């Protein structure tokens, strides 16, 4: 994937995606381009310097000099950060989606990711009779460890949405156009599935050719945040929208086999136990605002000695 020649006129380099070629080959009419979107995948807006000493013409000089990569065919890796239209041109703040780690049950593991224990042996029990488990420490649940087989336990992932600025009071109401009521969750389908906080599996929308499963979640996993105080439990400083709560179930492959751990992962020590692990990312994207957050997750399976 080289850079495009930007020495002359602006040119456009276009390719069909792998998914597009697949639909074209099906020949059932599903290859029908009906809409377009624009994106700015390469742009780093931190380069925007609105205090440039040479004046406003130079604020974005570094952005405009950004070299652009050739188009590539992976549909999952293209057009990632879309441009969006809002009717108002006066918006100064836009909502974000943040991982809420304020409660013990929603914290990440101290190792820096959410841990998914993929089988009962790895989960453990409260009587701590299982020497191979990582889910309990002296009968106390370990923060950040989600039970991927049983989907029991108190730990889950929580994301809060809203304007994260102390410049605006949380008592202000978030504009309905900016208030998410649904999210898209992407997860590697070989590794896990999405469930509600209560352990009910959510059906995926579709699985793409790269094994990425797409879930659209709303009622049941998404609720409005009504707390407009500055309580410790809140992670968004300004006006709040919705929160998304879910767990991750382990796939059958991870639950019953070490094959994918050998192929994709490694071994490490967790909570004093030797485990096989696979690191992955779960991406959550707001349906309205398109804001996305990548959640680091580690699937672990105890090594039975």
**In Å, how far are 7, 38, 71, 188, 226 from 12, measured between CA atoms?**
13, 13, 9, 32, 47
Q: Is the Cβ of residue 19 or residue 107 nearer to other proteins in the bound state?
A: 19
**Contact between residue 158 and residue 99 where contact means Cβ atoms under 8 Å apart:** yes
CA-wise closest residue to 215 among 205, 207, 224, 225: 205
**Shortest approach of other proteins to residue 157 CB, angstroms?**
19
Q: Which stretch binds other proteins (CB under 8 A): 70-78, 111-119, 191-199, 243-251?
A: 70-78
Q: Taking CB under 8 A as the criterion, which residues in 90-109 touch other proteins?
A: 90-96
**Shortest approach of other proteins to residue 239 CB, angstroms?**
9
Would you count residue 33 as binding other proteins (CB under 8 A)? yes
CA-wise closest residue to 117 among 285, 265, 233, 248: 248
Interface residue with other proteins, options 25, 89, 231, 304 (CB under 8 A):
89
Interface residue with other proteins, options 25, 27, 28, 32 (CB under 8 A):
32
Say how many C-beta atoms besides its own lie within 10 A of residue 61's C-beta.
13
Kindly write out the interface string for residues 180-199 of this chain, putting x where it contacts other proteins by CB under 8 A and - elsewhere: ----x---------------
Interface residue with other proteins, options 128, 287, 296, 303 (CB under 8 A):
287
Q: How many residues bind other proteins (CB under 8 A)?
A: 78
Interface residue with other proteins, options 78, 111, 128, 150 (CB under 8 A):
78
CA-wise closest residue to 122 among 136, 109, 108: 136
Would you count residue 50 as binding other proteins (CB under 8 A)? yes
Interface residue with other proteins, options 85, 138, 229, 232 (CB under 8 A):
85
Would you count residue 4 as binding other proteins (CB under 8 A)? yes
Return the half-sphere exposure (C-beta side, CA atoms, 13 A cut-off) of residue 208. 16
Would you count residue 303 as binding other proteins (CB under 8 A)? no
Interface residue with other proteins, options 113, 186, 189, 285 (CB under 8 A):
285
Would you count residue 283 as binding other proteins (CB under 8 A)? no
DSSP state of 219: B
Q: Taking CB under 8 A as the criterion, which residues in 204-223 touch other proteins?
A: none
CA-wise closest residue to 100 among 247, 280, 299, 244: 244
If you search the block for the tokens 């696979």, which residue do you land on?
Answer: 278
**Contact between residue 227 and residue 233 where contact means Cβ atoms under 8 Å apart:** yes
**In Å, how far are 258, 281, 287 from 265, measured between CA atoms?**
10, 13, 32
Q: Taking CB under 8 A as the criterion, which residues in 141-180 touch other proteins?
A: 162-165, 167
């Amino acid at each position: 994937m080289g850079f495009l020649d930007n020495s002359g006129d602006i040119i456009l380099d276009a390719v069909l995606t792998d998914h597009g070629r697949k639909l074209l080959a099906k020949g059932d009419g599903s290859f029908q381009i009906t809409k377009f979107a624009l994106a700015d995948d390469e742009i780093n807006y931190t380069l925007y310097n609105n205090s440039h000493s040479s004046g406003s013409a130079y604020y974005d000089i570094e952005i405009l000099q950004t070299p652009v990569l050739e188009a590539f065919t992976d549909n999952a890796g293209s057009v990632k950060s879309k441009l969006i239209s809002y009717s108002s041109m006066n918006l100064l703040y836009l909502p974000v989606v943040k991982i809420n780690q304020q409660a013990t049950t929603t914290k990440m593991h101290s190792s820096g990711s959410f841990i998914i224990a993929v089988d009962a042996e790895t989960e453990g029990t409260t009587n701590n009779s299982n020497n191979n488990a990582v889910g309990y420490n002296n009968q106390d649940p370990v923060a950040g460890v989600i039970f991927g087989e049983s989907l029991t336990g108190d730990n889950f992932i929580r994301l809060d949405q809203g304007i994260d600025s102390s410049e605006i009071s949380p008592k202000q109401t978030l504009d309905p156009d900016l208030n998410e009521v649904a999210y898209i969750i992407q997860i590697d389908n070989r590794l896990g599935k999405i469930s509600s906080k209560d352990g009910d599996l959510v059906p995926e929308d579709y699985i793409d050719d790269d094994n990425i499963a797409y879930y659209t979640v709303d009622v049941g996993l998404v609720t409005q945040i009504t707390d407009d105080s500055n309580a410790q439990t809140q992670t968004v400083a300004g006006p709040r929208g919705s929160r998304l709560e879910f767990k991750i179930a382990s796939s059958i492959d991870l639950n019953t086999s070490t094959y994918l751990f050998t192929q994709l992962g490694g071994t490490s020590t967790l909570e004093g136990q030797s485990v096989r692990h696979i690191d992955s990312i779960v991406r959550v994207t707001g349906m309205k605002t398109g804001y996305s957050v990548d959640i680091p997750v580690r699937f672990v399976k105890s090594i039975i000695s």
